[in-house]
Structures are given as structure tokens and as C-alpha cells.
Amino acid sequence: MRAVYQKTNREAEWRALLLELRGRRKAERRLMQVLDSLEGKRIVES
């Protein structure tokens, strides 16, 4: 999905969607890990 938003110059909308999901679902740890991976963040810091 991120690639589609990037190709259509809608990255701001993508970031807003991620923020909304994080706000509504912050108690769901696994979802936060998946969202982090979508943003290119590491799940486990070394």
C-alpha cells in the first residue's frame, strides 16, 4: 500500500493513515510491530 501512496504523491495521506491506526489500536502490540515494519523501522533494536 505504501508504494501506491508514494507513486501517487500521497505520502502525507499515508502517514496520516498510520497515525490514525496507531492512535486507535495502540494496545495491539503486534499491529504496532507491523506498522513499524511498513515504515522501515526495526522491530527489535540491537
21-35 pLDDT tens trace:
888 877 788 888 888
Q: Does pLDDT of 12 surpass 90?
A: yes
User: Residue 44: what pLDDT?
Assistant: 62
User: Residue 29: what pLDDT?
Assistant: 80
User: Residue 7: what pLDDT?
Assistant: 94
User: Residue 8: what pLDDT?
Assistant: 96
What whole-number percentage of the chain has pLDDT above 90? 26
Q: Which helix (H) or strand (E) holds 11?
A: helix 11-24
pTM over 0.85: no
Q: Is 29 left (phi over 0), alpha (psi -120 to 50) or beta?
A: alpha
Burial 3-12 (b: 16+ CB within 10 A, else e): eeeeeeeeee
